[in-house]
Copies of this chain bind each other. A is one copy, B any other.
Amino acid sequence: MQKNHLEFWYEFASTYSYLSVMRIEELAERNQIKIIWKPFLLGPIFKEQGWDDSPFNIYPAKGHYMWKDMGRRTQQIGLSFKKPTVFPRNGLLATRIAFCGSKESWCPTFTKRVFEANFVHDQDIGNIETLKAILESLKLDAESIIDLSQNQENRALLREQTTTVQQLGIFGAPSFIVKNELFWGDDRLENAIDFL
């Protein structure tokens, strides 16, 4: 990883990732930092910990608190937010698309639109039509991108990424890596930037 680069690991179903996705670009610009967008799947990581659902569903008190906290935090930073009627939503296809296009210039905007679809407009981001509409709104060739994201190679690379995630010690989202140091949680975004 080059100097002044920050790896931003996020998961589409993750509520706190939404906060960072919407905040990170302004912070990066202000601090002249390059963000490396790293969409990943938290499901396999959670499975290893024995969870087949979000810990916010498995542990109701934690979940109840998280929704309150999300409401307060989004209000505090002036971000729209509506508790989705389904949680967590299936982020597999969105992740395949963002992963496949993670080095393309459209990845950040695509990512933000998907998070807004989930956490502002209560749309099913697991539905191919939702994602197609987002890609089309960005004037992209939605069909080709979706096909590419679904091909054998991209799917295999995404599966292999889980090993990298484990090796990096990532156990939740969002996570930030700067100079080989891991920072976990939207609350640590500023600390990660300061560490650079």
Contact = CB atoms under 8 A, between A and B. Distances in A.
* Number of copies of this chain that the complex holds: 2
Interface stretch (A63-71, A101-109, A122-130, A153-161): A63-71
Contacts of A184: 65, 69
Given A72-B191, A184-B69, A191-B72, A171 B49 contact: no
Interface residues on A, range: 20 to 34
A192 to B, nearest CB: 10
Interface in A147-196: 166, 169-172, 181-184, 187-188, 191
15 contacts: A59-B171, A61-B166, A61-B169, A61-B171, A62-B171, A62-B172, A64-B169, A65-B169, A65-B171, A65-B182, A68-B181, A68-B182, A69-B183, A69-B188, A76-B191
